[in-house]
Amino acid sequence: MKPLRALLVGAGGMGRTWASALTGNPDVCLVGWVDLVTERVLEGIEAVGLTDVAVDDDLDVALGKWLPDFVVDVAPPEAHHEVTRRCLARGVPVLGEKPIASSLDEARDLVEFSRRTETLFVVSQNRRYNPGLVAFRRLVLSRLGGIGALSADFYSGYHFEGFREEMASPLLLDMAVHTFDAARYITGADARSVYCTEFNPPWSWYRGAASATVDFELSAGIRFSYRGSWCAEGLETSPDAEWRAIGAFGSAKWDGSSNPVAEVRTGGAKGAALERIEAAPAPMPEEGIAASLVDFLRALRTGEPAMNDCKDNIKSFAMVMAALASSASGERVAIGP
Ligand SMILES: NC(=O)c1ccc[n+]([C@@H]2O[C@H](COP(=O)([O-])OP(=O)(O)OC[C@H]3O[C@@H](n4cnc5c(N)ncnc54)[C@H](O)[C@@H]3O)[C@@H](O)[C@H]2O)c1
């Protein structure tokens, strides 16, 4: 089968990671790389060690000239709507970095536009493709006798340069979507309402709120609580967060890097001793963005749904936007189906 022609948009840190992933996949030929700032692409090409990749600073020109089979959008969140719409308007499928867009109206417009143009739009929610997360999900779903409560803690003191230090809600808008999406993946449930408080500690090096506590009510009566900070130095958690799930038969934990563990009363028998279980990481041929790309290519080639099709991914983004609305209003906010 002929490799599919890819056009990459955005040449920041994550753009380079995507350039490596695209050139590392034998089913893909990276034909062009676009950024508003041409020097970034040229530096990226040298850093990644690419040859035969065309460069432009204008997406429409690049789409017309290089006729890609698909686009990977790694521009900042506020450009996702414009970049994705331009591609879908020409019938070019898009694999976009998270978050799907920078507002719910934009995200809804893209989902509707993808439906209307019958053009695939998938969001790369790459942290779903983690052998530890997949193993934790299996453990939780198979051994707890149902899930009553799920919690995740995320603490990091990362110093970024660029858009995150200036945006209004960097933790919720740029990072928490990974953890909220993972909560939907683990439970198979969608969010129904949320209460959230965002805050920015006095020592924070971000302009916007870099910390939050969030309480979600999910379908099937599951509670999901999240605590996070992006200006917490020392004793950092895994970027995949630290998780605990509680069910009728016992509890399961995953620290985001070692093997998930559970302590459960087997079969739920009252008075039975607790059994300790350690789950091995799920075997996966590819992980992270490489796996996200494989899933997108499968959907593109076969027409079967991708795990993170925009129609589904918007539900994780809606959790973020409802949390922001709750923080702004001080009220619990309903999240629609
Ligand atoms: N999945 C992950 O783990 C992960 C990690 C980091 C970043 N990201 C996501 O990747 C995206 C990019 O992040 P980054 O850290 O590389 O950002 P960055 O700011 O380092 O780079 C973004 C690049 O996009 C370019 N750009 C801006 N608007 C553009 C437009 N309209 N058309 C073409 N190029 C444009 C900028 O000039 C810049 O070079 C964001 O959506 C971010 O949330 C995801």
Q: Which residue has the tokens 């808008």?
A: 173
SS3 181: helix
* pLDDT number for residue 9: 98
Listed in order, strand segments (DSSP E) in 204-334 are: 211-218, 223-229, 242-247, 250-254, 261-265, 274-278, 333-334
| pLDDT for residue 337 | 66
Among protein residues, the one with the nearest Cα to ligand 1's atom 20 is 12
- To which residue do tokens 């099709």 refer? 309
Question: What pLDDT does residue 175 have?
Answer: 92
State the span(s) of the chain assigned CATH 3.40.50.720. 4-119
44 lines ligand 1 (CB under 6 A): no
Alpha carbon nearest to ligand 1 atom 31, residue: 79
Please tell me the residue having the least CA distance from ligand 1 atom 2: 126
Q: In what order do the strands lie in the sheet with 28-34?
A: 54-56, 28-34, 4-9, 70-73, 94-97, 121-124
Name the segment(s) of the chain with CATH classification 3.30.360.10: 130-284+318-334
d(CA 289, CA 129): 8
Q: How do residues 182-214 score in pLDDT, each as one tens digit? A: 999 999 999 999 999 999 999 999 999 999 999
Atom of ligand 1 nearest to the CA of 126: 1
Residue 218 pLDDT exceeds 80 = yes
| Ligand 1 lined by 69 (C-beta under 6 Å) | no
Place 267 in a pLDDT band, splitting at 50, 70 and 90.
Answer: low
The pTM score is 0.95
pLDDT score at 270: 75
Contact 95, 293 (CB under 8 A): yes
- Phi, psi (rounded to 5 degrees) for 140: -60, -45
Cα(211)–Cα(229) distance, rounded to whole angstroms?
4
Atom of ligand 1 nearest to the CA of 124: 1
Give the integer Cα–Cα distance in Å for 184 and 198: 21
Share the mean pLDDT of the chain: 96
Residue 167 has pLDDT above 80, yes or no: yes
Rounded Cα gap, residues 94 and 72, in angstroms: 6
* 173-190 pLDDT tens trace: 889 999 999 999 999 999
Model pLDDT for residues 104-156, shown as the tens digit of each residue: 999 999 999 999 999 999 999 999 999 999 999 999 999 999 999 999 999 99
pLDDT of the residue at 248:
93
Q: Percent helix, strand, coil in the chain (nearest 5)?
A: 40, 25, 35
**pLDDT tier for residue 160 given thresholds of 50, 70 and 90:** confident
Query: Domain 130-284+318-334, CATH 3.30.360.10 — does that match?
Result: yes
CATH class of 4-119: alpha beta
pLDDT tens track for 27-63: 999 999 999 999 999 999 999 999 999 999 999 999 9
Report how far ligand 1's centroid is from the alpha carbon of 14 (Å). 6
Q: Does ligand 1 lie within 6 Å of residue 264's CB atom?
A: no
Question: How would residue 164 be classed by pLDDT, with cut points 50, 70 and 90?
Answer: confident
Pick from 46, 48, 47, 64: nearest CA to 7:
64
CB environment 180-205: b (16+ within 10 A), e (fewer):
bbbbbbbbebbbbebbbebebeeebe
Q: What backbone phi and psi angles, to 5 degrees, belong to 85?
A: -60, -45
Q: Are strands 261-265 and 250-254 parallel, antiparallel or unpaired?
A: antiparallel
Would you place residue 161 in the very low, low, confident or very high pLDDT band (cuts 50, 70, 90)? confident
